[in-house]
Structure 1
Amino acid sequence: MDELELLKKDWGKQDGPYKKLSANDIYPMLQKKSSSIVKTLFYISIGELVFWILINTIPYFSSDSYREKLDAVYGNDFILAVLTVISYGVILLFIYLLFKSHKAISVTDNAKKLMESILKTRRVIKYYVIYNLVMAFISMVVGLYFAIIHNPEYSETISHLDKKQILLAYAMMIGCVAVFVFIIWLFYKLLYGLLLKRLNRNYRELKKLEV
């Protein structure tokens, strides 16, 4: 049991003026724990940005065949560049918002403002994860579409299929994309879910202090 849990346990047994003093003691601990969680989320987001940059740039610049395949899928470098800029732009915005949340939590001395900062942080992470899942789905579907259009082998294969077979093929591809997106969702749930649970727990404790 950590220091905060011990203090809360003693606080629950106290009466009168001592209970008010214990509440004042608990608040800075909740603030410190919340700030630490948001700081960890901030560092994770930076690590994620570096990870995706390495994943995308190393194969692209080190392998001519990989670069040719990407160019063949998207038709030209412009579409790929736009998707890359948008993806990195959103990650940078996410990092900035988490940094602002960390600063807001670190300097506030008001329980209500701290609760508002925690709620904002939760919303930022929620929207970021939703955006990434939607973008992953759209990007993979668009990538498959361009791959079929620009790859003569795929185009020729599909041209020999009837309508039902084409619909079945598309349904299978979308199903595979959905499974991959689900795996990404599990990754984010593991990556951010545990920290968000701790942040939510701090929020509930702050609400109790406010009552």
Structure 2
Amino acid sequence: MRILLVEDDSQLLMQLDQLLQQAGFSVDLADDGEKAQYLLKEYTYDAVVLDLGIPKVDGISVLKFARENDIKTPVCILTARDTWEQKVLGLDAGADDYLTKPFHHQELLARVNALIRRSSGHASSELTCGPIQLHLTQQKVKIDDQELELTAYEYKVLEYLMLNRDKVISKTELTEHIYDQDFDLDSNVIEVFVGRLRKKIDPTNTLKPIETLRGRGYRLFSPA
């Protein structure tokens, strides 16, 4: 999952960047509103963590910009402004959640995970697809209740496919959502990860839950 983190406090920006990366997210950073607007227009994100008191363009204006440009990415506002009027202003501008500084890091992670889950139409943190079970919070995968060992990027690929089950996901889309903005989108590494995933989740090649659609991408579906 790919996150845009917008915060002008350099120390907090680095702390949250490290927190999110340790939790398995790919993170793009912006320390002012102009950069945030540029990144939102150029790249696709699974969630945005947005401070309101940022320079050049304030957070509310960034949020309005996103919604006016039909960018539907879920947004969690971070702010030291804890009055109810500010909360209403942020929610009316299109925010999906609101977290007041100071906050516990684990609460931020829980809220970001919940935003991503809900935006994909999932109420629970545990996703299932046939014998495959994926727990978003614990980042664990089981096949028939047996825990599976995956690399970080194998997990990210499976997680994105599970969140978008039965949808056709192009290689480019998959790459954009598991890597940061500097990654080479022409790389064939996604094919390698998908190949490894197939061998790990379906070693006997009987279920075949990941379908390749030539020229279109991949689709995860529940085996019959």
The two structures have a TM-score, normalised by structure 2, of: 0.23
Relative to its length, the structure with more strand (as a share) is: 2
TM-score (norm 1): 0.24
**Bigger Rg, which one:** 1
Name the structure with the higher helix share. Answer: 1
Using CA pairs under 8 Å that are at least 6 residues apart, name the structure with larger relative contact order, 1 or 2. Answer: 1
